[in-house]
């Protein structure tokens, strides 16, 4: 696998912990791929399992060389032996999965949740004991070392465990510790954020084609424009508004486009969409909490 990541923190070498991924979907794969290509985890130290999709597990094993646990006995063993357990199932499956997890847990294990909306208190209630917990909100760009993750810890997490979690997420992108009350905001910004930009890119590509460009040209120009714009913000240190000003010649094409965005209240639409995403994370958490009690 190529090391094409540009992460915030250089990996301090192998972390040599047994990592178990409870849930083997998109987000689990993004983290696994990111950790392996960053040189932080050995495939042999990673075990992954899901509920019932054997074909998916075989695909992950073949793609990354990780271990898989395909039956109940192997799943229990994987959980018991793990130093770190990543909780990577959908919110709707979390209550059932965490109740099942409870008997396999032992002191000293660290739980890392990526589940949108699920609070640390709810995790503690579901597992019925106090273990170190990191509630994280990563994103799928972790796959290529460009993730952006918000992290909150419970009081049971030691300094060493906090450092371990930060080290892992910084090896696959950037990571910021935030108060748990702000995790739903992080979800609205960077958790769901890649989808907003893909949506914008879809619209740009479709429009470019309708303006007469060939599909591959439309795609290549759009993708490079988004990549170049993000890199300009990072590498020049200039504010997006200032960089926008430099593109916008008075009375020119960009001004005509931005005026159209303003008339359609594009900024307002982005604001409403992001607030709705944060609100939805809160609703999902509340639904989960109602299903626990
Ligand atoms: N996708 C994203 O961009 C992001 C997702 N998240 C969070 O990550 C979590 C996972 O999302 P995502 O990866 O997209 O979801 P996927 O649907 O791709 O994967 C969910 C996985 O959980 C497994 N699973 C469900 N219930 C159980 C169970 N009882 N025991 C074992 N495995 C189980 C599923 O297995 P099976 O297929 O067998 O049912 C599947 O492998 C969600 O909580 C989401 O909020 C956070 C940030 C970004
Ligand atoms: O859409 C979702 O609910 C998850 C959380 C953030 C990104 N995907």
From atom 8 of ligand 2, which residue's Cα is the shortest distance away? 192
- Ligand 2 pocket list (CB less than 6 A): 116, 187, 191-192
**pLDDT (0 to 100) of residue 6:** 57
Q: In DSSP terms, which residues pair with 174 in a beta bridge? A: 148
Measured in Å, residue 163 CA sits from the centre of ligand 1 at 25
Instruction: Quote the tokens at residue 227.
Output: 């990549």
Domain with CATH 3.40.50.720 in the chain: 19-187
Measured in Å, residue 183 CA sits from the centre of ligand 2 at 12
Neighbour count for residue 242 (Cβ, 10 Å): 10
**pLDDT (0 to 100) of residue 257:** 98
Superfamily of domain 193-274: ProC C-terminal domain-like (1.10.3730.10)
Low-confidence ranges of the chain (pLDDT < 70): 1-6, 9-12
* 50 C-beta closer than 6 A to ligand 1: yes
* 99 C-beta closer than 6 A to ligand 1: no
Distance set, CA 225 to CA 137, 214, 218, 228 (Å)? 27, 16, 11, 5
| CATH number for region 19-187 | 3.40.50.720
3-state helix vs strand vs coil in the chain, percent to 5: 60, 10, 30
- Rounded to the nearest 10 degrees, what angle do helices 266-292 and 120-127 cross at? 20
Distance CA(33)–CA(136), nearest Å, equals: 17
Distance CA(70)–CA(58), nearest Å, equals: 9
- Give the per-residue SS3 of 9-68: CCCCCCCCCCEEEECCCHHHHHHHHHHHHCCCCCHHHEEEECCCCHHHHHHHHHHHCCEE
Measured in Å, residue 162 CA sits from the centre of ligand 2 at 24
Instruction: Compute CA 5 distance to the chain's CA centroid, rounded to the nearest angstrom.
Output: 15
pTM, rounded to two decimals: 0.95
Largest CA distance in the chain: 69
* 116 C-beta closer than 6 A to ligand 1: yes
Specify whether the CB–CB gap between 99 and 122 falls below 8 A. Answer: no
* 27 C-beta closer than 6 A to ligand 1: yes
Closest atom, ligand 2, to C-alpha of 140: 7
Burial 249-263 (b: 16+ CB within 10 A, else e): eeeeeeeeeeeeeee
**pLDDT (0 to 100) of residue 292:** 84
Measured in Å, residue 213 CA sits from the centre of ligand 2 at 33
Interface confidence: ipTM more than 0.95? yes
Measured in Å, residue 247 CA sits from the centre of ligand 2 at 33
The closest of 147, 148, 168, 166 to 158, measured between CA atoms, is: 166
Ligand that comes closest to the CA of residue 32: 1
**Measured in Å, how far apart are the chain's first and last C-alpha atoms?**
45
The owner of tokens 């170049």 is: 228
Domain with CATH 1.10.3730.10 in the chain: 193-274
What does DSSP assign to residue 18?
A: -
The closest of 291, 270, 249, 127 to 199, measured between CA atoms, is: 270
Ligand that comes closest to the CA of residue 147: 1
Measured in Å, residue 264 CA sits from the centre of ligand 2 at 27
Specify whether the CB–CB gap between 140 and 26 falls below 8 A. Answer: yes
Distance CA(133)–CA(138), nearest Å, equals: 15
List CB contacts of 181: < 8 A, sequence separation 6 or more: none
Closest atom, ligand 2, to C-alpha of 280: 3
């Amino acid at each position: 696998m190529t090391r094409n990541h540009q992460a915030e923190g250089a990996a301090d070498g192998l972390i040599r912990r047994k990592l178990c991924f409870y849930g083997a979907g998109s987000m689990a794969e993004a983290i696994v791929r990111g950790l392996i290509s960053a040189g932080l985890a050995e495939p042999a130290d990673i075990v992954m399992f899901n509920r019932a999709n054997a074909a998916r597990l075989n695909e992950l094993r073949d793609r990354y060389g990780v271990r898989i646990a395909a039956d109940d006995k192997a799943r229990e063993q994987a959980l018991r032996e793990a130093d770190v357990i990543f909780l990577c199932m959908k919110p709707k499956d979390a209550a059932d999965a965490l109740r099942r997890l409870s008997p396999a847990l032992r002191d000293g294990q660290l739980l890392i949740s990526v589940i949108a909306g699920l609070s640390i208190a709810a995790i503690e209630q579901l597992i019925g004991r106090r273990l170190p917990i990191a509630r994280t909100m990563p994103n799928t760009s972790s796959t290529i070392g460009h993730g952006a993750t918000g992290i909150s810890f419970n009081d049971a997490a030691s300094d060493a465990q906090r450092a371990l979690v930060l080290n892992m997420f910084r090896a696959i992108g950037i990571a910021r510790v935030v108060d748990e009350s702000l995790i739903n905001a992080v979800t609205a910004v960077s958790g769901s954020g890649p989808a907003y930009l893909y949506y914008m890119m879809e619209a740009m590509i479709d429009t470019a084609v309708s303006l007469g460009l060939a599909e591959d040209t439309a795609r290549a120009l759009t993708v490079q424009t988004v990549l170049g714009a993000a890199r300009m913000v990072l590498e020049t240190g200039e504010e997006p508004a200032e960089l926008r000003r430099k593109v916008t010649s008075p009375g020119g094409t960009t001004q005509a486009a931005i005026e159209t965005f303003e008339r359609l209240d594009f900024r307002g639409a982005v604001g409403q969409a992001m607030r709705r995403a944060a609100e939805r994370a809160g609703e999902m958490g509340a639904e989960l909490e109602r299903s626990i009690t």
